[in-house]
Structure 1
Amino acid sequence: MVHDINNTMEAGPEPKLGYALFYGSIMALGLPLNAVSLWILLRHHSLKTPSAVFMVNLAISDLLLVISLPMRVYFYATGTWPLSGGACTLITMLFRDNIRSSSIFITFISVDRLLAVVYPLRSRHLRTACNALKAVGLAWLIVLVINIPQRVKFSRFLESYNKSTCFEFPQQQPQISAMVYPQPVLVLTMLAVNIVCTTLVSWTLHTHLSDSARVNNKINVMLIFVMNLVMFIICFLPLSLSLLINGTAPPPLVCLATVNCCLDPLLYYFSLDAFWKKKEDADLPRE
């Protein structure tokens, strides 16, 4: 049996054109959408508001994921991995880092909107670009800290197999099973925060009419929170639960998780155009 497994590893997996086509489509959509979004954010919104800071970093996270997709397309189209094990580790970590950083930045956006709608006056001193930059800096640091031991562990694990198996391994992976927990715990925690934010904002908009009357485009405000929850439930939660329960990430769930890089630009358009362009100016400090 061991001999048969080793032979399979040396031969590499069979080409899977469906996965190649899927990742190619995500790349074709995600690259221009996020590149244009980042350009708009930096050119027209700069880093003067916390919302712009969070969205710029979210777009950067998505672009890092998108630039790793061509090699996934090649791998599934040919069934071979032409690069080194280190390159496989790098691309795998870019995917994992995107899940973690995106879940954090999306949660930051929800918390920022919660403060703006529910506590508009008391949160003015908190909702500053400086504090937002500190928050995203801490977020990237957390992602990096989680990344380092996982990168080392994954590199050692990868040495046990032929490099042509880069994205597909046996179901049993005892060497790295202890390292799968940080991501599910992070995603589930961020999901809980988003649910709380959505509930509080919805309650405020429907019950405190005198306060919520000052919020323009209430439907678009709620769409922001709904889209955040959709991204968690569709893109992040299935993969995280699979890691938590089985210790593995099945290829279909990995495909599903990459869809978030195409959905995030919709969040920018709804948020900046429909809400902050009309109200954020009032939130900026006056000279």
Structure 2
Amino acid sequence: MQNVTTGATDGIALTCGMSGSHEFIFTLVPIVYGCIFVIGIVGNSMVVAVIYCYMKLKTVAHIFVLNLAVSDLTFLITLPMWAIFTATGYHWPFGGFLCKASALLVIFNLYTSIFFLTALSIDRYLAIVHPMRSRRLRTVLYARNTCVVIWLFSFVLSVPSAMSRDVHNIKNSTTVLCGTLHPTIENPIITKEFLLAISLMKSLLGFLVPFVIIITCYCLIGRALVGARHIQKSSRSRDDEVLRMLAAAVLAFFLCWVPHQVFHLMDMLTQPSLEKNCAIKEIIDTAMPFTICIAYFNSCVNPLVYGFVGNNFRKNLLRLLRCSPDGVRVSHPSISSRMSALSFRASEALSLTAKSKASSDVK
């Protein structure tokens, strides 16, 4: 619902009408939003509670995972408003401030999620491939400072998207939209170049560049572990388990966000030709709510991938649900124990490989 062309005191005109308005969207999408809201709130709240109460913030991985869960929670609180917005046929009854704030939190979550995933990937790369040299950098203080930078940088990147959003009264209709402002006489600051910059920033900084960094880190981790297996065959099963967890995290983010990024790019490229081809706009506006549902589902996947894969996490979760005292703690948290052990085995194997090569050269 973003094809706004002209501004007027009695409302705005849409070049292609209310494209993408279908009863099955108004029924199905709010139900999906409701399920994502319940699952995401419960899952991420458990992650926060378990890490804070039992695992504590003693490792870099736990700090990043905790902040990732908090990021998802800040976004999930906006889902009931978006569900009502869709269920009422794209009518926004909450006013201009909440329209801007909700849009900001959506983009804010996109940036914080991918940045925390990237930071976690870089940390895993340093811990496994360069465990000794990176020890001075991989501290709790470093992780906390990194989180502060990510929160502030993501907020700055999200502000332009909030500025470009507002409520719109539709001509000859009682519908009030919460959509993107387009260039008009009343909005001289909102230019086509400004909107294009926001879209490109969302695609590049919010997906493509971080994803390339993540893939690069995991490829280097995989290469290091494959080389280490020739020295320590016994650690193969545990290494495979860690690799599967890392691959699942990357794959989940990719599958959840790629459809929305593709249709977002299509929407950006077809904006200049909307008046000539409303059929394309109809396809994009019909598919966009479902791609958004898939993207939002990533907020439910994160707790499963980063928390519930560990046996110790499940044990601590059961202790939390049973209201067990905080006296006896599991000695090694799920994420940190596996990663630390893997880092030690990988570094030991890599050093043995280097020594064997050196001895062969001497001979």
Same-fold call, TM cutoff 0.5: yes
2:309 counterpart of 1:270: yes
Tell me if structure 2 keeps the 8 A contact 1:239–1:253. yes
Query: More strand by proportion, 1 or 2?
Result: 2
Query: What is the CA RMSD across the aligned residues, in angstroms?
Result: 3.3
SS at match of 2:303: helix
Residue 202 of structure 1 corresponds to which residue in structure 2? 222
Tell me if structure 2 keeps the 8 A contact 1:47–1:53. yes
Query: More helix by proportion, 1 or 2?
Result: 1
Distance in 2, Cα, partners of 1:281 & 1:47 = 18
Aligned-pair identity in percent equals 26
Q: For structure 1, which runs of at least 5 residues remain unmatched after alignment?
A: none
SS at match of 2:141: helix
Q: For structure 2, which runs of at least 5 residues remain unmatched after alignment?
A: 7-11, 183-190, 269-283, 314-333, 344-363
Tell me if structure 1 keeps the 8 A contact 2:62–2:336. no
Instruction: Return the letter of the residue paired with 2:63.
Output: V
Distance in 1, Cα, partners of 2:232 & 2:61 = 21
Instruction: Give the CA deviation at 1:254.
Output: 1.2
Instruction: Give the CA deviation at 1:24.
Output: 0.7
Distance in 1, Cα, partners of 2:234 & 2:114 = 30
2:64 counterpart of 1:54: yes
SS at match of 2:133: coil
2:247 equivalent among 217, 226, 240: 226
Instruction: Return the letter of the residue paired with 1:219.
Output: D
In 2 relative to 1, CA 182–6 (structure 1 residues): closer, same or farther, beyond 3 Å? closer
Instruction: Give the CA deviation at 1:216.
Output: 7.7
In 2 relative to 1, CA 159–177 (structure 1 residues): closer, same or farther, beyond 3 Å? farther
In 2 relative to 1, CA 144–59 (structure 1 residues): closer, same or farther, beyond 3 Å? same
1:259 equivalent among 297, 304, 314: 297
> CA offsets, 1:119-145, max 9 Å, x none?
121211111111111111111111111
Instruction: Give the CA deviation at 1:185.
Output: 0.7
Aligned length: 278
In 2 relative to 1, CA 138–102 (structure 1 residues): closer, same or farther, beyond 3 Å? same
Which range is displaced more, 222-231 or 124-133?
A: 222-231
2:251 counterpart of 1:240: no
Trace 1:1-287 onto structure 2 (pairs within 5 A).
Answer: 5=14, 16-79=26-89, 80-155=91-166, 158-159=167-168, 164-166=176-178, 174=192, 176-186=195-205, 187-209=207-229, 210=231, 217-247=238-268, 250-266=288-304, 267-270=306-309, 273=313, 274-278=334-338, 280=340
SS at match of 1:165: strand
Instruction: Give the CA deviation at 1:279.
Output: 5.5
* TM-score normalised by L of structure 1: 0.84
Distance in 2, Cα, partners of 1:163 & 1:58 = 36
Instruction: Give the CA deviation at 1:68.
Output: 0.7
Instruction: Return the letter of the residue paired with 1:264.
Output: N
Structure with the greater alpha carbon radius of gyration = 2
Distance in 2, Cα, partners of 1:140 & 1:245 = 29
